[in-house]
Structure formats: structure tokens, C-alpha cells
Amino acid sequence: MQEVIKLDVLEKRLTFLFIITFYFIATVNLFAQRLADVSSIIGVRDNQLIGYGLVVGLNGTGDSSSAFTNQTLANLLKNVNVKLDPKDIKSKNVAAVVVTAKLPPFARQGDKLDITISSIGDAKSIEGGTLLLTPLKGVDGRIYALAQGHITIGGFNTGRSKGGQLHFTTVGKLYGGATVEREIIYDIYHKKTAVLSLKKSNFNNAVTIQNLINKTFKNKHIAIALDPRSIELHKPANMSMPEFLAKVQDIQYYTPSENVVVVDERTGTIVAGSNIAIDPIVITQGTMMIKITKRSSMAELADIFQKYKARPKDIIAILETLKSSGALKAKLKLN
């Protein structure tokens, strides 16, 4: 039998803890941001890297019969003068993985990068394994970094008990696990102009920021809005380009706050503002029924989730449905 709970008769609480961690971020009407937080410089960006490698040292949780894993291991052993037919390899302590990373702008040789390791075979878990030396390449096929190290598994795990959720043991992180070997050269010092790219396309914001930059430098020709997202910047003669861009990015810009609910489906973490509004609606999920009879907030809905000991996947499903129905007055961002 379904139990019906009305939000308008519940005691209001500011914070809560339930089966996953649910953080509250207070929102305000206007807040100051640096231009660096709402824009980027065209050409100054991350570059994606990818590589294929092996994780070893697993406790019988590696690939069982993947041909490419055995072939890769045989090739590796051949490099150390051990010749072995891939068909003769029966080890389950090895897993084939794809390694990904982001090469930040102006990264220099010797800098460290965080990497993500993902199993591509039938391994049950790569937790506790060691990634062997793996070249990371860019889209041009050149090697930009080398990765190696001990893998850690993030997330939340309470086993298979009621309300628990297993984390993904076939995906791991290695913080500072890659070393930059090749640099991407970008000569910004000798440039006379640059283009500021806003993270959100809006004519009003573009013109406002254009005027704000010109007012800061007391010159109406420093910044020119080209479209709702792009602002061309002209360097003053008495500044270097790095100095100019540093000052531009440090300008304070007042912008309306945006209500956002961020959901990490892999770890079951949800981040939201406690005062995000929810319109009246009826929610049915399994044996749970919630009637929202008046405009309510995320904090009140969270009380219901806590009462029912709702599982992360159920909470995520409800939030997605609320957004689709238009009852959730916030942007839903899934990671």
C-alpha cells in the first residue's frame, strides 16, 4: 500500500543527511563573478589525451579471456625477452584499459596530470591494481604525456545492504598519474588582439561586458562585442598581452545567480540549492507517493527522501522526471 505524505505539514529543516551526501548551496539574486569565471580566451583551452594500457596486480578480478589483453601482455613480455604465445596466457590479474586525461593550456614538461582509467574488457574490478607505463596521445597521434601508477577507486560503497549502492570498480582515478613530455606551444605574448568567449550566449551580457571592460581601461575601443558570445579585445600599447588579459579576467561582473541541481550518476552525489522551488505535483515511485500541494523547496523534498530512505538511483530518477515535467525550477546537470 502506498503511503501518502504532504509536504506542507512537514517540519522544515535546513540540512539533511540520507543515503547519499546531499549538499546545499545558498543562492542569491545577484552575485559578483570575475570575468575569468564566465568566459575564456579563444585558443587557451584544454586538449584531450587518450591511451591504451594494462593494469596489473589485480586479485583475480582482471580480464578472463579477452584476446586483446592477452596479446598486449604477450607483446609487453616480448620487450623484456620473454616469448609467450598469447593463447597460453591464463592470468586473471591483468586488465586492458583506456586511459584519458586533459592537457591544460601552457602545460610544461614535467607537469603532472590527473587521469581516468576505464576497463574495456570483462574485468570485474581494477581496484588496487597498478597501471603500467602508458603513452597518452593527442588527436594528431603524437605522445604528449606518460601515465603510470597505483589506481584508486572513488565513490560510495556500502555493499549490497538495503539502501546501499555499489560504486563503479571498473573505473578508477590516478591523481597526478601522468607526466607531461611534450608541450603545445602558443605564443600569446606577441599577439595584439585576443577574443573573449562567453560561456553563455547572450546579447545583453556581451554588450554589458564590453562596456565594463572599456570603462575599466577608460577607452571605448578596447573591447568590441562581435556577437552574443564573442568580444574582441585590443591590447593597450603600455601593457603586455599577459598583463592585459590578467587585468581583464580580474574584472568583477555582477550577474544573476542560476539555480542548478548537479547529479553525479556514477557516485550517487547530488548538489543543489536548498531553496530551489518545486511546483505542486504528485510523484509516484514504487511504493512511495508524494503529494506537493503548494509551491515547495528542495529542502522540504529532501525531508521526504530521508523519511523513505530513498536510494540514490530513485532520487535521481525523480529529479529527472520533475525537470521534464517543468515542476523543478532549476537546471539539471548530469555528470
Q: How does pLDDT run across 99-129, given as a tens digit for each residue?
A: 999 999 999 999 999 999 999 988 899 998 9
Cα–Cα distance for residue pair 272/26, rounded to 1 Å:
9
Give the closest residue to 55 by CA, choosing from 138, 158, 143, 151: 151
Backbone φ, ψ for residue 13 (5° rounding): -130, 150
Q: In which band, very low, low, confident or very high, does the pLDDT at 89 lie, cut at 50, 70 and 90?
A: confident
Give the closest residue to 182 by CA, choosing from 134, 232, 143, 130: 143
Are β-strands 260-264 and 331-334 bridged in parallel, bridged antiparallel, or unpaired? parallel
Give the closest residue to 40 by CA, choosing from 218, 221, 229: 229
**pLDDT exceeds cutoff 50 at 2:** no
The residues pairing with 4 across neighbouring beta strands, listed in sequence order, are: 289
Q: In which band, very low, low, confident or very high, does the pLDDT at 255 lie, cut at 50, 70 and 90?
A: confident
**pLDDT exceeds cutoff 90 at 14:** no
User: Residue 261: what pLDDT?
Assistant: 82
Q: Collect contacts of 289-297 with beta carbons under 8 A, ≥24 apart.
A: 289/2, 289/3, 289/4, 289/5, 290/4, 290/5, 290/7, 291/4, 291/5, 291/6, 291/7, 292/6, 292/7, 292/327, 293/6, 293/7, 293/8, 294/7, 294/8, 296/7, 296/8
Q: In which band, very low, low, confident or very high, does the pLDDT at 256 lie, cut at 50, 70 and 90?
A: low
**pLDDT exceeds cutoff 50 at 164:** no
Q: In which band, very low, low, confident or very high, does the pLDDT at 28 lie, cut at 50, 70 and 90?
A: very low
The helix or strand, by DSSP H or E, that contains position 297, with its residue range, turns out to be: strand 296-297
Q: In which band, very low, low, confident or very high, does the pLDDT at 270 lie, cut at 50, 70 and 90?
A: confident
The residues pairing with 100 across neighbouring beta strands, listed in sequence order, are: 50, 116
Alpha carbon of 147 to those of 45, 202, 315: distances in Å? 21, 40, 37
Q: In which band, very low, low, confident or very high, does the pLDDT at 167 lie, cut at 50, 70 and 90?
A: low
User: Residue 168: what pLDDT?
Assistant: 76
Sign of CA dihedral 331, 296, 327, 288: positive
**pLDDT exceeds cutoff 60 at 236:** yes
Residues 151-158, mean pLDDT to the nearest whole number:
63
The CA dihedral of 143, 145, 150, 153, to the nearest 10 degrees, is -90
The helix or strand, by DSSP H or E, that contains position 78, with its residue range, turns out to be: helix 67-79
Residues 263-291, mean pLDDT to the nearest whole number:
78
With contact defined as beta carbons under 8 Å apart, do 254 and 30 qualify? yes
pLDDT greater at residue 59 or residue 310: 59
Range with the lowest mean pLDDT among 140-144, 160-164, 201-205, 307-311?
Answer: 160-164
User: Residue 281: what pLDDT?
Assistant: 84
**pLDDT exceeds cutoff 70 at 162:** no
Residues 18-31, mean pLDDT to the nearest whole number:
43
Helices (H) and strands (E) in the chain, counts: 6, 21
pLDDT digits (tens, 9 = 90+) for 47-71: 999 999 999 999 889 888 778 887 8
Give the closest residue to 270 by CA, choosing from 312, 208, 221, 329: 312
**pLDDT exceeds cutoff 80 at 29:** no
User: Residue 150: what pLDDT?
Assistant: 92
User: Residue 210: what pLDDT?
Assistant: 96
**pLDDT exceeds cutoff 60 at 259:** yes
DSSP percent split of the chain into helix, strand, coil, nearest 5: 20, 35, 45
Orientation angle between helical segments 241-249 and 203-217, nearest 10 degrees: 120
pLDDT greater at residue 227 or residue 155: 227
User: Residue 312: what pLDDT?
Assistant: 77
Task: Say what percent of the chain tops pLDDT 70.
Answer: 85
**pLDDT exceeds cutoff 60 at 156:** no
Cα–Cα distance for residue pair 40/38, rounded to 1 Å:
7
The grid coordinates listed for 192 are: 595584439
User: Residue 285: what pLDDT?
Assistant: 75
Q: In which band, very low, low, confident or very high, does the pLDDT at 25 lie, cut at 50, 70 and 90?
A: very low
